[in-house]
Amino acid sequence: MTAETESEARLISVLDTAVDGILVIDDRANILVYNSACERLFGFTPEEAIGQNVGMIMPSAYARSHDRYVETYKATGERKIIGIGREVHARHKDGTEFPVELSVGEARTPQGRQFIGIIRDLRPRKEQEERVRQLQADLVHMARVSAIDEMGAALAHELNQPLTAVMLYLQAGERTLRKGRDARSDEMLSQVMNKAVHEAERAGSIISRMRQFVEKREPNRRRVDLNAIVDEAVDLTLLGIRDKVSVLRRFKSDLPAAFIEPVQIQQIVVNLLRNAVEAVRERPEPVVEIETRAVDGMLQVCVSDNGPGIPPQAMPDLFRAFATSKRSGMGLGLSISRTIAQSHGGELSVDPGGNGRGAKFTLTLQAVTSEDA
């Protein structure tokens, strides 16, 4: 474009100052205006681009539909994008495809209908989002590792039991062998071996449960039975608890399936349960109850206890990171749990109790909809 008038010169400088790509095409989709930002985005010089079909900066599948959109719009007035704006893919001269935000406007000029496209590169935003997602996943994972770390002593004790039992069974077997073999001793040996195998399996299953919990994996949401997931989480937590606490499980049968990342939801349950057990520690008859149910098409997991409840002054910061009343606590559990719940399209709420009532936490999750299925 060469500036013939002052207003044209001004327009060209505006176009070339814009950070976003700005394109104007005619009603046959040929490029009329192509600013400097377009050159940076797409790699074509204005000389290469102007006069060409706009399909040259689109992935080929889009380019084909684009000609059709323009034809349909001209014939019927049906708008696919004009005045709306949306995320689409664009193509660089070197063939790289990348996401852009495209908004399209229309102008009626003496030369006919023209379309103006404003194009924003979405790669920096996507990279930023990916970094935040990765950091969040790392934090969530770190909190799981730290929970297992805190349960360490109790877990070691729990592991020691089956290992001690295996040793005792093996010693008994060895003594039997030394006494000489007959049909009775063979029968006894076989029983002792079976018991030893069973105990070794128990130790193995404790280790594998812990390993699954701390393993670092890409989050993968899937359709699961919530009761089974919660049940496993309760078992894992109980491994790490040596206090005498009655833990009651009230699971609603025939719940609709949940669409979740199982380990992350287990992480919430482990955290709520460990807090509840901690809260009832001083009670003469400590009770923690865990319930699953379906309410208004949503799934709920409630963890309640008969502890002192949450003092009103602790409520405003309860779900904030680093809010803790414990000497060894990091105060991350509830904040991370709520983040996980919300990233699942759910919520974590609390009834603080008090005045003789313990706290009750409710995790709400979406059930699988026919669309997810």
Compute the least distance from the CB of residue 196 to ligand ADP, in Å: 38
Compute the least distance from the CB of residue 343 to ligand ADP, in Å: 17
Distance CA 226, CA 292 (A): 8
The amino acid present at 190, given as its one-letter code, is S
**Of the residues 279, 299, 363, 365, which one makes contact with ligand ADP according to CB under 6 A:** 279
| Neighbouring residues of 151: CB distance < 8 A, sequence distance ≥ 6 | 237, 239, 240, 241, 274
Structure tokens at 57: 């900066």
Q: Select from 54-62, 228-236, 292-300, 304-312 the region that touches ligand ADP (CB under 6 A).
A: 304-312
**Does residue 334 belong to the site contacting ligand ADP (CB under 6 A)?**
yes
DSSP 254-287: TPPPEEE-HHHHHHHHHHHHHHHHHHTTT-SS-E
**Of the residues 18, 330, 367, 368, which one makes contact with ligand ADP according to CB under 6 A:** 330
Nearer to ligand ADP, 43 or 354 (CB): 354
Compute the least distance from the CB of residue 315 to ligand ADP, in Å: 10
**Of the residues 55, 85, 256, 329, which one makes contact with ligand ADP according to CB under 6 A:** 329
User: For residue 42, which of 25, 24, 21, 63 has the smallest C-alpha distance?
Assistant: 21
Nearer to ligand ADP, 192 or 273 (CB): 273
Compute the least distance from the CB of residue 323 to ligand ADP, in Å: 6
Q: CB of 103 within 8 A of CB of 117?
A: yes
The single residue listed with the structure tokens 């006494």 is: 179
Q: Binding residues for ligand ADP, how many (CB under 6 A)?
A: 21
If 0-12 CB within 10 Å is exposed, 13-18 middle and 19+ buried, where does residue 51 land? exposed
**Does residue 305 belong to the site contacting ligand ADP (CB under 6 A)?**
yes
DSSP 174-189: HHHHHT---HHHHHHH
Distance CA 183, CA 299 (A): 57
Q: CB of 1 within 8 A of CB of 32?
A: no
> By Cβ distance, which residue is nearest to ligand ADP?
333
**Does residue 331 belong to the site contacting ligand ADP (CB under 6 A)?**
yes
**Does residue 131 belong to the site contacting ligand ADP (CB under 6 A)?**
no
CA 351 to chain centre: 25
Q: What residues numbered 183-222 form the site for ligand ADP, per CB under 6 A?
A: none
If 0-12 CB within 10 Å is exposed, 13-18 middle and 19+ buried, where does residue 323 land? middle
Q: Select from 28-36, 205-213, 292-300, 332-340 the region that touches ligand ADP (CB under 6 A).
A: 332-340
306 to 325: interface string for ligand ADP, x by CB under 6 A: -x--x---x---x----xxx
Tell me the residue ranges of DSSP E strands in 173-245.
222-224
**Does residue 301 belong to the site contacting ligand ADP (CB under 6 A)?**
no
**Of the residues 237, 264, 267, 275, which one makes contact with ligand ADP according to CB under 6 A:** 275
Compute the least distance from the CB of residue 276 to ligand ADP, in Å: 4
CA 143 to chain centre: 14
- Binding site residues, ligand ADP, CB under 6 A: 271, 275-276, 279, 305, 307, 310, 314, 318, 323-326, 329-335, 359
